[in-house]
Amino acid sequence: MKRLSALYYIIPFLCLMPFFTAPIALASGILLTLLKIHKPYDIKKHTSTILQWSIVLMGFGMSLEKVIQTSQTGVWLTAASVILVFFFGLIIGKLLKVEKNTTMLISSGTAICGGSAIAAVSPIINAKNNQISFALTVVFVLNAVALFIFPVIGHALDMSQENFGYWSAIAIHDTSSVVGAAAAYGSESLEIATTVKLTRTLWIIPLSFLVVFINRKESKLSKIKIPWFILYFVIAILVAYFIPQYAETYNHINWLGKRGMTLALFLIGTSFSLEDLRTAGLKSFILGISLWIIISVGTLFFFINF
């Protein structure tokens, strides 16, 4: 099996190839983990950095006019979905008698952006490692499922690029899976989904303050993490808009960002753990699945009918 460790170097190279799609990358990472192939380098150390900088690089391929239009259209949908999902999560978690911190983490991750929201909220509520692990496992599994089935559902319902972009950005938890699903559906869908998703990610900040208020006896305001990479993403869009003479270069940079996102999905896949899956508990999964159904079916109904 040690010889197969070379795959951890070969597959990142394959992620640069156009035939190596986001779902293939994620599935490859999960497969290597299930086969228990030795990891020759620290996966977690690089995943977040690659993911965030890939998003920034993709900003060079975005249209400022389109981004403004998309942000204005999606802001109320995003606000409504974040608030409703978070409070539904707290209610369902209480009914299922899921531990309070785990409920808070799963609700935050589902409402906003998966692992990033969980990472932001966990130090505020002084979450234990096993609680964080449970929440991440639930969100990870649902993200992986969404990446594969959302494009299939979109095509089956003959959704437009625009509607699918909005739907995937609001209904899928993690940024990487949103981008992966939208990229599989089309370029217009990808642009809309990325913009709306990053607008949604900004809700980490007000949600963190809300969590501080709810857990005001134990919370620590100084531990709120601000997603600064979104600012860099906006700067990339502005650079491409105000200095248009380098458009061809921006296209290459944007391509690198898309392939970097594919690489990030491979690395995320290698973080899969059957042990975490077993220990997360049935109730945690019921909570996560319930919230996922509420947001995905609810928003799908909205986009199909309105």
SS3 track for 106-166: HHHHHHCCCHHHHHHHCCCCCCCHHHHHHHHHHHHHHHHHHHHHHHHHHHHCCCCHHHHHH
Which tokens go with 117?
Answer: 């929201």
Higher-scoring residue by pLDDT: 178, 269: 178
pLDDT on residue 125: 81
Rounded distance between C-alpha atoms, residue 21 and residue 262, angstroms:
7
Please, which pLDDT band fits residue 195 given cuts at 50, 70 and 90? confident
Residues recorded for the chain: 306
pLDDT score recorded for residue 214: 77
Judge residue 86's burial from the number of C-beta atoms within 10 Å of its C-beta, 0-12 exposed, 13-18 middle, 19 or more buried: buried
pLDDT of 182 over the 90 cut: yes
Identify the residue whose tokens are 């620590």.
Answer: 220
Output the pLDDT for position 151. 94
Predicted confidence at residue 213, as pLDDT, reads 77
In order, the DSSP letters of 213-265 are HHTTTT--GGGPPP-THHHHHHHHHHHHHH-GGGHHHHHHHHHHHHHHHHHHH
Helix axes of 43-58 and 229-242: crossing angle, nearest 10 degrees: 30
Q: How confident is the model at residue 154 (pLDDT cuts 50, 70, 90)?
A: very high
Give the model's confidence band at 281: pLDDT under 50 very low, under 70 low, under 90 confident, else very high: confident
Side chain identity at 18, as an amino acid letter? P
CA–CA separation, 47 and 295 (whole Å): 27
Q: Which residues of 157-180 are buried (b: 16+ CB within 10 A; e: fewer)?
A: eebebbbbbbbbbbbbbbbbbbbb
